[in-house]
Amino acid sequence: MKLQDRKVAIVGLGYVGLPLAIEFGKKYRVLGFDINPERVLELQRGEDSTLEADLVGMREATELYKKDLGIGLSFACYPEKLRDFNVFIVTVPTPIDEFNNPDLTPLLKASAMIGQVLKEGDVVIYESTVYPGCTEEDCVPVLEKFSGLKFNKDFFCGYSPERINPGDKINTLTTIKKITSGSTPEIANLVDELYSSIIKAGTHKAPSMKVAEAGKAIENAQRDMNISFMNELALIFDRIGIDTNDVIDAAGTKWNFLKYRPGLVGGHCISVDPYYLAHKAKALGYDPQVILSGRRVNNSIAQFIANKTLKLMIQAGHTIKSSNVLIMGITFKENCPDMRNTKVVDIYKELLEFGINVDIFDPWAKPENVKHEYDIDLLSKIDDEKSYQAVIVAVAHDDFKTFNFKKYKDSGAVIYDVKAFLDRELVDARL
C-alpha cells in the first residue's frame, strides 16, 4: 500500500479520535466515524464539546475534503460509509466494570463493525488502552469472524497507543512521541510511516504489538503508583499533624526526588489502566501486589477527604445533619470538561450519607452530561445568599482563583483545599 493510497477511517471521535482525524485529514482522505449522530452533527457544524479539537485545523481539513482533492476530513455515523477505506484506527473507550474487570464491549463491537466492511489488504490499528495480547487474542478473532478473512494473510493489524492528555494545550498529539507496532515487520513499517507523517515528535517502533500494549499499560500504572505513594504519605502526615505539601517541598530540594503530589485519581486512563494490567497478570497465575495496593490507596482518598471535612466541621462547632457543603469542581482535572471516572462524586456520596446538603459548582462541566452520568444537578451559579458550613475545593480550575473564599471563611465555613492551590491563610486543611 503506497502512501498516497491510504484512506483512513477513525472509529470513535472523542478526546483521542478527533485530534487524530484532524491531523490525518490534512494529508490523507479521512473519515471521522462515530456511532453517536449528535456528535457527528456537532462536528459537521465545526463545534467540539470536548474542547480538545484545534477548530482552525478541523476547518482546514474539512475544507480540503470539500475541494475534492483526494484528501481531507469528513464525518459520518453510518457504518456503510467505512467501506471505501483501507486503514481503520480504533479509538473507542476501554472502561472497567463494577468489579474492576476490563470491559471490552465497545472495543469488540467496533471490531465487529469493521469486520463487516473489511477487505483484503486492509489494516486495522488499535489505539485504545488494553492489556498485552488483547489485540491478537480478543480483537483479531472478531475481525476474522465478521469478515471471513484470515489474519496476517488477508488483513493486518497494528497497535499504537494514545497518549492524549485532556486539557493540555502544550503536550498535544503531534508533540508527544508515538509508539507504533504491527502484526508483521512490513505492517510495522507501514504503521510507523503513517504516524511519522503527522507526529512532529517522532515515533518509537516497538518490536511487537504486545510490547506496545504493555508499554502503554505501564505508563499509567507507574503514575498511579507514584501518586498512591504520595496519597499514603498524606494519610500518615495527617495523623502526625504536618502538611504533606510542605514535606514534599522539603524533600524536593534533592535533585533526584520526584515531586508528585497527592490527590484524587480519576479520569479514563490512570484510574482504569492498572486494572487491565492486573487482569492479565491474574490470568497468567500471578497475583499483582504493588499495582492493586496502589489502587486501593487512591480509591480511599475521596472518603478520607469527606471524613476529614466532617471532623473539621465538628471542631468548628457546626451541626453535621442538614448542614450545607459546597464542592468546587467535578471534572477529573482542572481546566477541562472531562468528568470520566471523577472521584469528586465519591466525596459527594460520602457526605450525603451523613445527611448533608451538598451542592456542586463547576463552570467547565456540562450540567446535562453530569446529570446523565451521575444523576447530580450542578449549580448554574452559586447563590450568594446561601450559607455554607464547609467548602471543598476539589478541582483547581483557573476560574476559582478569583472566587471569594474569604467571605465563607469569615462566616465560619471550613475550607478544605484538595489541590493545595489556594492561599494558605484561607484554608483549614489541604491534602
Helix (H) or strand (E) holding 214: helix 209-240
d(CA 29, CA 56): 18
Looking up cell 494473510, which residue turns up?
A: 153
User: φ, ψ for residue 429 (rounded to 5)?
Assistant: -165, 160
Q: Choose the catalytic residue: 134, 157, 269, 336.
A: 269
DSSP-assigned letter for residue 89: E
Query: Are 91 and 162 within 8 A, CB to CB?
Result: yes
DSSP-assigned letter for residue 102: B
- Note if 139 is an active site residue: no
Q: Is 196 helix (H, G, I), strand (E, B) or coil?
A: helix
Q: Are strands 357-361 and 87-90 parallel, antiparallel or unpaired?
A: unpaired
CA distances 141 to 8, 148, 167, 183, 260, Å, are 22, 10, 36, 14, 41
User: Beta strands of 300-378 (E only): which ranges?
Assistant: 324-328, 357-361
Helix (H) or strand (E) holding 37: helix 37-44
CA-wise closest residue to 4 among 65, 62, 66, 70: 70
Residues designated catalytic? 269
